[in-house]
Structures are given as structure tokens and as C-alpha cells.
Amino acid sequence: MNDTVSDKVHIDQGRQQKIAGISSVLGSTIEWYDFFLYGTMAAIIFPQLFFPQQDPYVATLLTFSTYAVGYVARPIGGILFGHFGDKIGRKVSLVATLILMGSMTLLIGLLPGYEKIGLWAPVLVTILRFLQGIAIGGEWPGSVLISMEWGTKKNRGFMATLPQIGVPLGLILGTAVTSLFITISGESFQTWGWRVPFILSILLVIIGLVVRFNLLETPSFQKALKEKEIPKLPFVSVFKHYPKQVISGVLSNVSSDIAFGVFAFYTTTYGIKYLALDKSIFVNATLIGAIVAVFAISLSGYFCDKINPKKILGFGNILLILWALPYFYLLNTKSTAFIFIAVIIAFVIHSIMWAPLAPVIASSFPAHLRFSGSAITFMFRGLIGGGVAPLVSTYLLNKFDSGYAISWYIIFAGIIALFAIRYVDIKYQKAD
């Protein structure tokens, strides 16, 4: 009889592990599709749509400022959803983040431009972007934890990296849909074509919700709840008892977000505005790079259970430092082939860093504070990293009139990360 019960538990664990993995990848893909779609449109059309009375440089700065607002909101979302994720459960928070992100993305797609409602257009798009950021603030840590905590000691590192695959998948989906409607709508892209990718998001949200409703709470959270370890204000406990984990986690991973902000988003603006090349070259290069990244993240995630994730993270930062200067050299050739090579290699290097980021951050905190700790660390990293990367890149290019200035910005971030990795503590990786 005990064997039967044991088998049943094992089967349920295996089933939940599969559902958790699928849910994490799917939910993460949807959330990042919504989030990155804004970044793509910010590079292509939003300066003309929401800031048409500004000169091109100012319009680009203002557009990327609204992009950065999403990152400013992330820590708020991390604290908010982290509180409920540690108090009520991972599942409830994940359902809420998906609904919030999908609703805001739909409203962006329905928002009138500056020509129709004047200043209300940039004001409203900024508010919607802010609420998107709050949703991402709860989505990433929730997805990582629901997947990692349903994993076993043998595959926990890989399970934690599954939501990371949602980033390139979301970028692929967003870029592909944008490219499709650029082709379909033609000259009408500025009037209605850009709206369709945002509106279609609601269909993805419905699919994601169906999967998430089949999830159960993780054993780690149930154990913490049973043992009454949950504090009244989890985020306060994180700052009080685990400041080292937060600081080292932020600084050791900030370079990956800066790199992604440059590689995935600012490169398109650089190519269009500075190199005067067709936007399709960079949209397609980003699409191919994101496809390659899906496999690179999976491979890097696999080795997180074979090698200490800190070593993989450090190796990725070394590669980033070495590639920063050649990256802009290849872009400046204006050769389509070299541009594709530069972007694809950049995405592979970012993938090597991106996969171990999840287990490194999540495993730095005990179960009863893991949601809040992971959320706070990841979101503050994004705020000082990817959130300002396009803005800083725009400023550096305008001041120095050279992409190499951006290269040194990336190199500086990589050096800081290498130093901070030494202080990362992941002792909770297989503890519960």
C-alpha cells in the first residue's frame, strides 16, 4: 500500500513538474512578448506616433524614457507580487501578473496617437507601460520559482532556467508578428498595422491562463506555510536579513540586462538612425539571433546542474567583455552578413549569462522569502541595467558620435559583474 501511495505521489510530482515547466515557458513568453513588443515599436514607430512635434533626437529620448518607465515599475511590482507570492502562493500571483500584462498590452494597441488626443497620448502610453512593468515585476520570479521548486535535486538548475527561454521566444514572436504586419499593412503600418500585434496578445493570455489554472502550489511553499515561516512583510525581511544577496545579485547580473538592452533594442535604432540602413535588416537579424538564443539558453541551463551556475555566469561576462568592441566594428561595416554575424554571436553570449541568472538569484534566498528576494534582486538589476541602456546608449552616441562609446559602457558593466560574482551565495540551491 505504501508503494502505491509513493508511486502516486511520484506520478503527481512528475505531472506537476511538466505543467510547471510548460506554464513557466508559456507564461514567460507571453509576458515578454508584450513587454518587448513595446521596445520594438519604440525603435520603429513610437517617436513619430506619440512625440511627433519633437526633433528626432529628443523624440527618441522621450520614447526610450517611456520604455525605461517599465523598468522603474519593476521593483514596485516585485515588492507587491513578492509580498503575495510569499504570503498567499506562487500560483495566485502568476495568474494576476498574466491578466495585468495582457490587459495593458491590449489597451496600448487601442490607444489613439498624438494627432487625435494630443498630450494625453504620451501620458497614457507611459501609464500603461508603467503597469506593464509592474506585471513583469511579479512574472519573472514567480515563473522561476514555480518551475524550480517543482524540480528535483538533479534538475533544479535546469528547471529554474526554463522561464529564461521565454525571453527569446517572446522576442521571436514579437519580432515575427511585427515584421509580418509591416509587410501586410505596408504604408498603413503607422495607422493600424502596428496595433494588431498588441491586440493579438489577448489570445495568448487566454491560453496561458488555462495552463496556469492547472498548477498546484510548490512543495517548498507548502512546507514554509505549514511551518509558519512567512513574515508579515517579506520584502522588509529580505532587506534586513539578506542585503548581501540582493546587492551581489544585482551587480553580478546587471551586465546581461545592459547587453540585452543594446543588442535586442538599441541596435535597431543605431542601424536606422546612425547607419541609415533599412530597419528590416536589424529586425530580421534580431529574429535569427533570438531563435539561436532558445537553443543556447537551453544548453547553458543544462550545464547549470553540471557546473556551478556562478562559473557559467562569469564565463559569459568574459565573453561579453571580449565581444563588445568587435560587435560595433561589424555593425559599422554596413554589411548585412557581418551585421547578422554580430547580432547572432551577441545573442549567444547573452544566453550563456541569461540562463544561470535564474538559479543564481533564486537560490540565494530561503523558500519563505524566495519570491520577494528574487523579485527585488531581479527588478533592481533591470532598473539600473536594461531600463536605462537604450537611454544611455542614445546619449553616448549623440555625445561621442561613435558606437564604440557604447562598447565601453558594456565592458564597464561586465567588469563590475565579474567582481560581484565572487560574493554571490547560492547555498539554498538544493536545500529544500
Residues 2-421, CATH architecture: Up-down Bundle (1.20)
Q: Is the pLDDT of residue 296 over 90?
A: yes
Q: Which of 119, 222, 191, 161 has its CA nearest to residue 363?
A: 161
Mean pLDDT across 52-60: 70
> Mean pLDDT, the chain, as a whole number?
85
- Locate cell 544577496: which residue? 245
Residue 250 identity (one-letter amino acid): V
Other CB atoms within a 10 A radius of the CB of residue 18 amount to 11
Q: Is the pLDDT of residue 121 over 80?
A: yes
Higher pLDDT, 401 or 152: 401
Distance of CA 339 to the CA centre of its chain: 23
Which of 56-60, 257-261, 296-300, 346-350 bottoms out in mean pLDDT, i.e. has the lowest? 56-60
Angle between helices 120-148 and 90-110 (to 10 degrees): 150
Q: What is the pLDDT of residue 432?
A: 59
Euclidean distance between CA atoms 264 and 354, whole angstroms:
13
Q: What is the pLDDT of residue 205?
A: 86
Helices (H) and strands (E) in the chain, counts: 18, 0
Euclidean distance between CA atoms 38 and 45, whole angstroms:
10
Pair 24, 163: CB distance under 8 Å: yes
Q: What is the pLDDT of residue 160?
A: 87
Euclidean distance between CA atoms 171 and 194, whole angstroms:
16
Angle between helices 309-332 and 279-303 (to 10 degrees): 160
Q: What is the pLDDT of residue 428?
A: 55
Domain layout of the chain by residue ranges: 2-421
Pair 317, 418: CB distance under 8 Å: yes
Euclidean distance between CA atoms 34 and 202, whole angstroms:
10
Residues 233-245: tens digit of each pLDDT: 888 899 899 999 9
Which of 29-38, 282-291, 300-309, 393-402 bottoms out in mean pLDDT, i.e. has the lowest? 29-38
Mean pLDDT across 361-387: 85
Mean pLDDT across 138-161: 84
Q: What is the pLDDT of residue 5?
A: 38
Q: Which of 253, 219, 248 has its CA nearest to residue 367?
A: 219
Q: What is the pLDDT of residue 67?
A: 66
Residues 204-241: tens digit of each pLDDT: 888 888 888 877 887 877 877 777 667 788 888 998 99
Residues 316-365: tens digit of each pLDDT: 999 999 999 999 999 999 999 999 999 999 999 999 999 999 889 988 88
The confidence band for 9, taking pLDDT boundaries of 50, 70 and 90, is very low
